[in-house]
Amino acid sequence: MINVTEPFLPKREEYEKYIDQIWSRKWLTNNGPLVNELELQLKDYLQLDHLLYLTNGTIAIQLAIKVLELQGEIITTPFSFVATTSSIVWEHCKPVFVDIDEETLNLDPRKIEGAITEKTTAILATHVYGNPCDIDAIAKIAARHKLKVIYDAAHCFGTKYKGKSVLTYGDVSTISFHATKLYHTTEGGAVVTPSAELLKKMSLLRNFGFNGPYTFASVGINGKNSEFHAAMGLANLPYANDILRKRREDSLQYDDMLLGKIPVRRPKITDGSVYNYSYYTLVFETEEQLLKVHKSLEVNGIFTRRYFYPSLTTLPYVKASEVLVTVDVAARVLCLPLYYSLNKAEIDMISRYILRTLKYG
């Protein structure tokens, strides 16, 4: 069986080295030394000024909305993981969906201003599959209308835009370190901001609002992560460059096997980006073709994922919106297996099943 993803695991003894430290100190959570060390190493690796390690990427989005004191309407994408939208609703704001660009699959900045009203307070855009949005266009729109910008950068470990980590853009960027991500801490996430003031506020928010042993600065939440999760992150980080290299090699092998030979395309990578190959995504010409490939692979023990499907406008707790590009594209997008232990022979086999299905199936 070949799954669509598989978590990377370091050598057991490398992880146990950190576990031994936890056993010795008996400090399991509450911003312990491994959490602090992980934050420092992540900032160094990603070349960031400010980063807070959190429970998960969903809490990260919720903290971003809370710290920016957003109310009313938030413009967002209907083509993302459900947490992007549910976090807006959870924080008592209204998601306003704007359609995506058919080539990049990111929020289409040409359609944003038509959705802005007097109630709009922010733009929350997803860098889909780790591919940067049109950051410059979004920044200009936000400045013109005095809006805050949050980037859901869940997939963006290692992605760069114009020579810098893509996480440095916007008022706040969020990232996920879930086990399915190319770099993970089992469960986890982070918030990144260029503002020291916002960072300080978010550090209080993630710890119930405590600003002293018996005093509180504001309402807060338990967004802290444990020493055990930080241990996995520290053990995995030395492998990050190798993981990124391997994903690029595997993606290029898929490209060589598939592109130009069957009626599929890849999302267009935004100009000025260094892409992290977070996912291997194909856009088929029709949903019928996608379903044939999906079924053919599954019969042979190979599992893919329709990611993201369906459009978030179908959620039962949001207002229906007309997003024709999203609805069309979401029905034709399929993610193929891509993970560190996947080998060249398996990629070759997966590709040949796809070729055979679309040519002769």
Which CATH homologous superfamily contains domain 240-360? Answer: Aspartate Aminotransferase, domain 1 (3.90.1150.10)
Q: List all residues 6 or more positions away from 189 whose beta carbon is below 8 Å from its beta carbon.
A: 53, 54, 55, 56, 57, 58, 59, 60, 154, 174, 175, 176, 177, 178
Structure confidence at residue 360 (pLDDT): 74
Number of Cβ within a 10 Å radius of residue 101: 21
What are residue 51's DSSP bridge partners? 192
Q: Edge-to-edge strand order for the sheet containing 264-265?
A: 264-265, 280-284, 333-336
Q: Where in the chain do CATH 3.90.1150.10 domains reside?
A: 240-360
pLDDT at 148: 98
What pLDDT score was predicted for residue 361? 63
CATH number of 12-238: 2.120.10.30, 2.40.50.140, 3.40.640.10, 3.30.200.20? 3.40.640.10
pLDDT for the residue numbered 180: 96
Digit-by-digit pLDDT tens for the chain (361 residues) are 999 999 999 999 999 999 999 999 999 999 999 999 999 999 999 999 999 999 999 999 999 999 999 999 999 999 999 999 999 999 999 999 999 999 999 999 999 999 999 999 999 999 999 999 999 999 999 999 999 999 999 999 999 999 999 999 999 999 999 999 999 999 999 999 999 999 999 999 999 999 998 999 999 999 999 999 999 999 999 999 999 999 999 999 999 999 999 999 999 999 999 999 999 999 999 999 999 999 999 999 999 999 999 999 999 999 989 999 999 999 999 999 999 999 999 999 999 999 999 987 6
Q: Within 13 Å and on the Cβ side, how many CA atoms surround 60?
A: 31
Cα distance between residue 185 and residue 182, in whole Å: 10
Tell me how far apart the alpha carbons of residues 274 and 160 are, in angstroms, rounded to a whole number.
5
Q: What is the pLDDT of residue 320?
A: 87
- Helical residues (DSSP H) of the chain, grouped into ranges: 12-25, 33-46, 57-67, 82-90, 135-145, 196-205, 227-236, 240-258, 287-299, 324-330, 344-360
Q: Which residues in the chain are classed under CATH 3.40.640.10?
A: 12-238
Cα gap 268→247, rounded to integer Å: 17
